[in-house]
């Protein structure tokens, strides 16, 4: 049973470019969460999605950031016009039910030059 | 407001010594409590969790944690530390309703021979 998959593991972008981060949840999990981890900090919640629905995006910046979890395929976190402050590790987690244990992927480390 | 405090940013212990990592939380309802471990460049691995029942929970790798409601604490313990335990440890509070996990800022563990 494969765990949560994220790709790419490392992503380098120049300021102003777009970053697309992908997350495939564990088999049987329909709840996906995205977190951001800045250096020397804990994880900060960004967004919670179920298939085709954004349930809670209270932790996501209002501009440049968007997330989706389509009926088919992985969840995507999209960052438009990246800036240096977006450099961080972005983790995806999935759970079988809401308010259940979250299982984390290995993360995508985004570096903005 | 919900929050998690890990008072110790960094701890150094000798191999074979006992370990206790502190975690205090502030949460309006009965929380779900978790400890995760993160090795450098890796994702988060679940060590143990508390939902209800026995307040002393056993986890993987010989770790245990005790939920003390009166102290709003969920400290992680291990009787004898191994060099491979060197990592970052995160305490998290999760909802019994709702979506978000709240993470502490982490405790970095160094194990010396």
Taking all residues of chain B, what is their mean pLDDT, rounded to a whole number?
91
State how far the Cα of B79 lies from the Cα of B16, in Å rounded to an integer: 8
Contact B42/A at CB under 8 A: yes
Helix (H, G, I), strand (E, B) or coil at A87: coil
- B22 lies within 8 A of chain A by CB: no
Instruction: Pick the more confident residue, B29 or B79.
Output: B79
Q: What is the pLDDT of residue B21?
A: 98
The pLDDT-based confidence of A1 (bands split at 50, 70, 90) is low
Mean pLDDT of chain A: 92
Query: Cβ contact (<8 Å) for B100 and A55?
Result: no
Residues contacting residue A113 through CB under 8 Å, at least 6 positions apart: A12, A13, A14, A15, A84
pLDDT digits (tens, 9 = 90+) for A48-63: 999 889 999 989 999 9
- Please state, in angstroms and rounded to a whole number, the distance separating the CA atoms of residues B102 and B27: 10
Tens-place pLDDT, residues B64-94: 999 999 999 999 999 999 999 999 999 999 8
- Tokens 């090795």 belong to which residue? B39
Q: What is the pLDDT of residues B88-112, one digit of tens each?
A: 999 999 865 556 788 999 999 999 9
pLDDT score recorded for residue A90: 96
Q: How many CA atoms, within 13 angstroms, populate the side-chain half-sphere of residue A103? A: 19
pLDDT of residue B30: 74
CB contacts, 8 Å: B88 with chain A = none
**CA gap A42, A49 in Å, rounded:** 21
Quick check: B36 contacting A, CB < 8 Å? yes
Q: Which of A40, A58, A101 sits opposite B46 (nearest CB)?
A: A101
Percent of chain A with pLDDT over 70: 99
Of A41, A56, A105, the CB nearest to B43: A105
In angstroms, the Cα distances linking B12 to A41, B105, B109 are 19, 17, 6
């Amino acid at each position: 049973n494969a765990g949560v998959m994220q790709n790419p593991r490392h992503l380098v972008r120049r300021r102003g470019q777009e970053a697309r981060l992908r997350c495939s949840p564990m088999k049987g999990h329909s709840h996906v969460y995205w977190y951001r981890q800045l250096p020397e900090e804990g994880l900060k919640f960004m967004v919670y999605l179920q298939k085709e629905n954004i349930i809670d995006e209270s932790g996501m910046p209002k501009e440049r950031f968007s997330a989706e979890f389509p009926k088919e395929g992985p969840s995507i976190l999209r960052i438009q016009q990246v800036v240096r402050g977006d450099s961080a590790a972005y983790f995806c987690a999935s759970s079988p039910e809401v308010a259940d244990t979250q299982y984390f992927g290995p993360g995508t480390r985004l570096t903005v030059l | 407001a919900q929050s998690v405090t890990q008072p110790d940013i960094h701890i150094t212990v000798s191999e074979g010594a006992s370990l206790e990592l502190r975690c205090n939380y502030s949460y309006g309802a009965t929380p779900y409590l978790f400890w995760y471990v993160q090795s450098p460049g890796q994702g988060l691995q679940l060590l143990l969790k508390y939902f209800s029942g026995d307040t002393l929970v056993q986890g993987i790798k010989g770790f245990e944690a005790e939920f003390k409601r009166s102290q709003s604490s969920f400290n992680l313990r291990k009787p004898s530390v191994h060099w491979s335990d060197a990592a970052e440890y995160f305490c998290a509070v999760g909802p019994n309703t709702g979506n978000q996990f709240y993470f502490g800022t982490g405790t970095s563990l160094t194990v010396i021979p």
